[in-house]
């Protein structure tokens, strides 16, 4: 274990993305605690090569075969002793390595599901930054975690805040801990005050400009539609075993309070901090200890005031669709997630208007058939069906 003289081995799934880069920044501050065993990326072979130079991992995995070939040639050219692999099976392999204690699950979208499940089956400590793994197959992942004595810690700033505000072992029994409800905060994104009639014409460039956070393009669009918050509601239901009606979304433009927990005695506990993902990453890396994250301390005098407001469902229809999906249960959240991924990708490619994202998701939920989730194949089948429905709908526009 880290801190006992032996370095803790880490696999970072999605190491070239914003969460992966922030994770490596935190790790760099604690060379006496952590060792990077494996790094993975989708297609950014140049970014992964630079990380291989710095971290000298035993393994580097590219999801894209052609990118893996380019990486392999450059690794050989530079004489790096890193084994280069490619494909989905390789991602699962490095998530389950014996030398790895902790797996940072930071692959965006449905692609992160299988390697996260592999880490759970291997009994790893999983730092979950991929919300889709729980959205798509919450029951399956939580069962694997429990059956294999894995540890699942939330990296999403909101869920990490909730985790910090719960009583000891509170995540296992909220009622016994006196928890009444969860207050899930949201910034409101870049269009919180934009007139609704103007939303149809906003551009991808406007949508990915988040007022507080530095995030990837897909997640930034999800924040702009508030689908990101809808997915987080579903994720919170599984992480904390709580009903969706006990999760209240609160728009908090400053992004200083990352979430709150309300108790039956009238207390409301909140976790505050500057909007920097290195805080929840450092918290989960070292939990139950605390380590330096590199994040500047919060100056409450500089903040001055904190604002809160209820979400406008006309402005943010994706949030209501997410609540509908988790209430429906079964494969509905997987359909919601897949349709959203297709819609966001089309919007970023200038093939769909901004408000068309919600229309695609609503259509897919109306047309899809749902089943209970008992196997991973049921989840993946629902995912495929939703992608086909969404793609067909967009093609008709």
Looking at residue 42, its pLDDT comes to: 95
Looking at residue 397, its pLDDT comes to: 86
Inter-residue contact 103 to 11 (CB < 8 Å) = yes
Looking at residue 3, its pLDDT comes to: 46
Average pLDDT score over residue span 128-139: 90
Q: What is the pLDDT of residues 237-262, one digit of tens each?
A: 999 999 999 999 999 999 999 999 99
Nearest residue to 258 (alpha-carbon basis) of 230, 229, 285, 238: 229
User: How far is the first Cα of the chain from the last one, in angstroms, to the nearest whole number?
Assistant: 55
Q: What is the pLDDT of residues 320-366, one digit of tens each?
A: 999 999 999 999 999 999 999 999 999 999 999 999 999 999 999 99
Strand (E) positions, the chain?
8-13, 34-41, 59-62, 83-86, 102-105, 125-128, 151-154, 179-186, 247-251, 257-263, 268-272
- At residue 10, φ and ψ (nearest 5 deg) are -130, 135
Tallying the residues shown for the chain, one arrives at 397
Angstrom distances, CA of residue 89 to CA of 29, 64, 85: 31, 12, 9
Nearest residue to 153 (alpha-carbon basis) of 36, 261, 51, 289: 289
Average pLDDT score over residue span 58-62: 98
Looking at residue 6, its pLDDT comes to: 86
| Residue 2 confidence class, pLDDT cut points 50, 70, 90 | very low
Is 200 buried (19+), middle (13-18) or exposed (0-12) by CB count in 10 A? exposed
Question: Is the pTM for the entire model greater than 0.85?
Answer: yes
Average pLDDT score over residue span 137-153: 96
Looking at residue 131, its pLDDT comes to: 84
Inter-residue contact 97 to 37 (CB < 8 Å) = yes
- Whether residue 171 is predicted with pLDDT greater than 70 in this model: the reply is no
Average pLDDT score over residue span 81-90: 97
Q: What is the pLDDT of residues 303-318, one digit of tens each?
A: 999 999 999 989 999 9
- Whether residue 217 is predicted with pLDDT greater than 80 in this model: the reply is yes
| Residue 213 confidence class, pLDDT cut points 50, 70, 90 | low
Looking at residue 169, its pLDDT comes to: 63
Q: What is the pLDDT of residues 267-279, one digit of tens each?
A: 999 999 999 999 9
Q: What is the pLDDT of residues 87-128, one digit of tens each?
A: 999 999 999 999 999 999 999 878 899 999 999 999 999 999
For 286, the token pair is 């070292």
Average pLDDT score over residue span 221-238: 95
Looking at residue 214, its pLDDT comes to: 64
- Whether residue 1 is predicted with pLDDT greater than 50 in this model: the reply is no
Domains of the chain: 8-154 (3.40.50.720), 163-328 (no CATH)
């Amino acid at each position: 274990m880290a801190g006992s003289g032996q370095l803790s081995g880490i696999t970072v799934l999605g190491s070239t993305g914003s969460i992966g880069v922030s994770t490596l920044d935190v790790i760099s501050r604690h060379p006496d605690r952590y060792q990077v065993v494996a790094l993975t990326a989708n297609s950014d072979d140049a970014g992964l090569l630079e990380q291989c130079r710095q971290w000298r991992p035993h393994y580097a995995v590219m999801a894209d075969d052609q990118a893996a070939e380019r990486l392999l040639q450059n690794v050989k050219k530079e004489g790096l002793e890193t084994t280069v692999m490619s494909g989905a099976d390789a991602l699962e392999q490095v998530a389950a390595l014996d030398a790895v204690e902790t797996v940072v699950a930071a692959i965006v979208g449905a692609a992160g599901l299988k390697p996260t499940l592999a880490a759970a089956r291997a009994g790893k400590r999983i730092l979950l930054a991929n919300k889709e793994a729980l959205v798509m197959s919450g029951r399956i992942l939580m069962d694997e975690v429990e059956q294999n004595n894995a540890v699942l810690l939330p990296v999403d700033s909101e869920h990490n805040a909730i985790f910090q505000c719960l009583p000891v072992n509170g995540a296992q029994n909220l009622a016994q801990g006196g928890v009444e409800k969860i207050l899930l905060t949201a910034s409101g994104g870049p269009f919180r005050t934009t007139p609704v009639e103007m939303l149809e014409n906003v551009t991808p460039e406007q949508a990915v400009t988040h007022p507080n956070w530095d995030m990837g393009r897909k997640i930034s669009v999800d924040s702009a539609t508030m689908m990101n918050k809808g997915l987080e509601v579903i994720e919170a239901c599984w992480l904390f075993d709580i009903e969706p009606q006990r999760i209240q979304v609160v728009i908090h433009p400053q992004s200083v309070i990352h979430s709150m927990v309300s108790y039956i005695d009238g207390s409301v506990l909140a976790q505050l901090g500057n909007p920097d993902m290195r805080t929840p990453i450092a918290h989960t890396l070292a939990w139950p200890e605390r380590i330096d994250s590199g994040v500047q301390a919060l100056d409450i005098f500089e903040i001055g005031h904190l604002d809160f407001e209820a979400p406008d469902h006309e402005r943010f229809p994706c949030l209501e669709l997410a609540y509908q999906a988790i209430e429906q249960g079964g494969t509905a959240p997987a359909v919601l997630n897949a349709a959203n991924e297709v819609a966001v990708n089309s919007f970023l490619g200038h093939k769909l208007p901004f408000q068309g994202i919600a229309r695609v998701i609503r259509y897919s939920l109306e047309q899809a058939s749902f089943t209970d989730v008992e196997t991973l194949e049921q989840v993946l089948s629902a995912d495929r069906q939703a992608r086909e429905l969404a793609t067909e709908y967009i093609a008709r526009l």
